[in-house]
Amino acid sequence: MAIPKEQKEIEIVKSRKMRPWVKWSLIVVGLLLVVGASLLIYVNAYINRSLAQTEGEIELSDLNQTVEVVRDEKGVPHIKAANDYDLFYAQGYVTAQDRLFQMEMSRRQASGELSEVAGEAALNQDKYFRSLGLRRAAEQSLELYDDEELKALEAYAEGVNQYIEEANVNNAFPVEFKLMGIDDMRDWTVVDSLTIGKYMAYDLGGHWERQAFNYYLLNHFNEEEAYELFPTYPEDALTNISDEEYVDVTASLTRAPRTHEFNGSNNWVVSGDKTASGRPLLANDPHLGLATPSIWYQVHLQSENYNVSGVIFAGVPGVILGQNEHIAWGVTNVGPDVQQLYLEKRHEENPHLFLYDDEWVEADVITETIHVKDQDPVEYEIVETKHGPIISEFANGTDEVDTTTAFSVDWTALEPTTELAAVLEFNRATNWEEFEKALENFHAPAQNFVFASKDGTIAYKANGKIPKYVNRDHALLPLPGWKSEYDLDEFIPFDELPTLINPEKGFIATANNKVITDQYPYHISHIWAQPYRYTRIHEVLENSNDLTVEDMMDLQMDQMNLQARQFTPIFIDVLKQVDLSEQEQKAVNLLEEWDYVDDKDKAQPLIFHQLVKHIEDELFQKHIPEDVLTMFKGSGQNVDQLIMQAYEGEEVLWIDKNGGLEQVLSTAFTKTIEDLSAMQGESIDDWRWGEYHKVYFAHPLSNISILDRFFSKTEPVPVGGSNVTVMAASFKDNGIADHGASWRFIIDMADLTESYHIVGPGQAGHYRSQWYDDQIIDWVEGDYHQTSIDQYDGDELILKPAP
């Protein structure tokens, strides 16, 4: 039926009248959009407020003369000052511009003050670092520095504090401060700088965890089984200490913050006889955690007494690794036994008395207040014996002690040391003699230094304060703290540390490998890195001449897996003796075709590394608790040795107790193929190492899911290499490579004005900076940037004395 015209007009008018709830909804939505936009503008403005000013002029009250700061295309600050005070003042100011949040968190972590901003979750970690006393050791170290060194530290701190003052006035702290609930920041001090240095000694520290693991083995397995997992078979081990009251290593020690097992590095130096330029080449890539921002801050410093370029930890003045106009140097970790556990006998009635040479000696007791976010402060008691702090009880959760034995740790880095003095002397050194003299002040961590100078000298020294063990087997286990005969009071003389100058073979290389022969008179370590990286570096350098910077780049990015080259034929030989599924046989066929390169686009590296992991799991997971296995540092070396011995027909208890080599390998291989099929599909042709193995530079707040994408703008990137290749990319169980070459550096001594670098993920700590993550793909692909100490341009900032 047709609707009358008049009715149609009435309906149209009604439809044009907006219902009240619709009207108000639109108003509310409009207001929300306006408020949201305004809030977004405000948040954006607040975030940008903390972005470093890199151009123009800034007046600073404590400067004496004008300082020029030019940030080049990769954000590297070139700081030019008329005097040393202004140089280090400006370095502190500029570093704070780029890395203030990192500096704040670094000093809190090293000082045991994270709980104040992170809450109870960080309390055990804080207790551990308070027990160690890195900050106390830094405070004691101050007394060893001379006026010149103290002035550099103080100038740096004053520059940092100038920036903190500006951030306070302008409400311009990085957004991380607000997210962590940090309203302001206390002044930076010289002790903060030295404490960060002590933390790096901790990160590259020693082997107390392995001593605790060996102790656990002796108390839970028979001697033959225990000794089979020792890093070396002991001839005169102190097994009698296992007769004392057992200290449960799972009570606290397994909860201690764990340094990365693969904290190592590569370095090498090649004489002019083997280079195209006729002058030495030097290369260094320290392997540390891969994170945002980088652990390293690249900088060029120039004044009347300095013209030095390289990297340093944010929060510390000078340049610790790099070059000046005369020399270049780089390091790897020696990994010596500088941490020694002692089993201490405690008085039954007085927990602060410990037996020592038949007398009860009172320990030093330090009570510290740990501030905890949203909780009452915690009063924490630290007990320091003659040998060092008690570390086996920090996670007990109670001040009461219920055992008459405990573990203390003796560690060279807990003594006063003078590494910053050495750093400043490195920066000014002009030849090997001056550089080696400076090394006398570098005690912890012990490092393999390689050196080159423009006069053609190449040299090496395993440097540091390394204890003299009367019996090298004593470093395998905790020592009896009640007998003075086991005290470590002497150290390898400086002049007798391993040293090499201008060797005939024309190069020197280290990769955390064993650096001494059996004829060397002193003990250094039982735990060396697996030899694969060093062997690969050695074979390339030995068989090459007319080497160039590009050759050094290729070697730093080399993905040849010598562990696979040694063990894949063994795995294939054993697996051919068992019944394989069709898919397993296809995987074996692929391994037979492999060139042993850990290429991200190949399936074989994925199969090999997963198989190695499953072999280790088969050997130990059923027998040793997971938390105890975290202390099994250097386990890869042990597993390699057990496999080789079993393959050669020797009796191997840990393999025999799991059914023999054939059973272990076949079970591990089946689990490997099953896991990879679930992970990457049934078709082996589609498997790729890089689909699993990806590099990711996590921000400290990335573990908060809502902030992960905010601070980590780049998705995990497929990458080749592994923990055993020269291009180091050690990975977690989820495949994320979070440890490797934190800085890559190459220099040809024919032209000391230019050097080549990669600092992943970038220079800046502010996520809005163009230099925040601009080197991630460079890191993956090996694209180096050139840094000059002679000619450079970019954003120019002038720091002027305030009138």
Q: How many CA atoms lie within 13 A of 379 on its CB side?
A: 4
Q: Among this protein's residues, is 702 annotated catalytic?
A: no
- Tell how strand 339-345 and strand 479-480 pair up: parallel
Once rounded to an integer, what is the mean pLDDT over residues 101-109?
Answer: 97
User: Tokens 């004395």 sit at which residue?
Assistant: 801
Once rounded to an integer, what is the mean pLDDT over residues 387-394?
Answer: 94
User: What pLDDT sits at residue 495?
Assistant: 97
The model's pLDDT over 404-427, given as tens digits with 9 standing for 90+, comes to 899 999 999 999 999 999 999 999
DSSP 674: H
Least confident of 214-228, 431-445, 692-706: 692-706
Banded pLDDT at 708 (limits 50, 70, 90): confident
Identify the burial level of 138 via C-beta atoms within 10 angstroms of its C-beta, where 0-12 means exposed, 13-18 middle and 19 or more buried. buried
In the predicted structure, residue 240 carries a pLDDT above the cut 80:
no
In the predicted structure, residue 31 carries a pLDDT above the cut 70:
no
Once rounded to an integer, what is the mean pLDDT over residues 230-236?
Answer: 76
User: What pLDDT sits at residue 508?
Assistant: 98
Which pair of structure tokens corresponds to residue 76?
């590297």
User: What pLDDT sits at residue 13?
Assistant: 45
User: What pLDDT sits at residue 205?
Assistant: 78
d(CA 205, CA 388): 15
Helices (H), 120-189: 123-132, 134-141, 147-170, 175-179
Banded pLDDT at 12 (limits 50, 70, 90): very low
User: What pLDDT sits at residue 39?
Assistant: 42
Once rounded to an integer, what is the mean pLDDT over residues 180-207?
Answer: 93
The one catalytic residue among 265, 408, 635, 666: 265
In the predicted structure, residue 38 carries a pLDDT above the cut 50:
no
Which tops the pLDDT comparison, 158 or 714?
158
Comparing CA positions, the residue from 741, 737, 717, 713 lying closest to residue 727 is 741
Least confident of 153-162, 199-208, 652-661, 788-797: 199-208
337 is in an annotated binding site: yes
d(CA 372, CA 696): 30
Banded pLDDT at 263 (limits 50, 70, 90): low
User: What pLDDT sits at residue 82?
Assistant: 98
- Tell how strand 327-333 and strand 296-302 pair up: unpaired
Q: Can you list the pairs that 120-126 forms with residues at least 24 positions away whose Cβ atoms lie under 8 Å? A: 120/372, 120/373, 120/375, 123/370, 123/372, 123/378, 124/255, 124/394, 124/395, 125/257, 126/370
User: What pLDDT sits at residue 1?
Assistant: 47
User: What pLDDT sits at residue 14?
Assistant: 45
Banded pLDDT at 703 (limits 50, 70, 90): confident
User: What pLDDT sits at residue 646?
Assistant: 98
User: What pLDDT sits at residue 5?
Assistant: 53
Once rounded to an integer, what is the mean pLDDT over residues 124-144?
Answer: 97
In the predicted structure, residue 91 carries a pLDDT above the cut 90:
yes
Q: Distance of CA 591 to CAs 307, 585, 615, Å?
A: 51, 10, 17
d(CA 640, CA 619): 12
Banded pLDDT at 566 (limits 50, 70, 90): very high
d(CA 163, CA 796): 18
User: Tokens 């976010």 sit at which residue?
Assistant: 373
How far is Cα of residue 534 from the mean position of the Cα atoms in its chain?
20
The model's pLDDT over 573-617, given as tens digits with 9 standing for 90+, comes to 999 999 999 999 999 999 999 999 999 999 999 999 999 999 999
The side-by-side arrangement of strands in the sheet containing 327-333 is 56-60, 795-801, 67-71, 77-80, 296-302, 307-313, 321-324, 327-333, 447-453, 458-463, 499-501
Q: In 10 A of CB 379, how many CB atoms?
A: 10
User: What pLDDT sits at residue 15?
Assistant: 47
The model's pLDDT over 341-372, given as tens digits with 9 standing for 90+, comes to 999 999 999 999 999 999 999 999 999 999 99
Mean pLDDT of all residues belonging to the chain: 92
The model's pLDDT over 483-522, given as tens digits with 9 standing for 90+, comes to 999 999 999 999 999 999 999 999 999 999 999 998 999 9
In the predicted structure, residue 10 carries a pLDDT above the cut 50:
no
In the predicted structure, residue 431 carries a pLDDT above the cut 50:
yes
Residue by residue, DSSP assigns 249-283 as TTTTGGGSPPPPTT--EEEEEE-GGGBSSSS-EEE
At 27, phi and psi to the nearest 5?
-65, -45
In the predicted structure, residue 683 carries a pLDDT above the cut 50:
yes
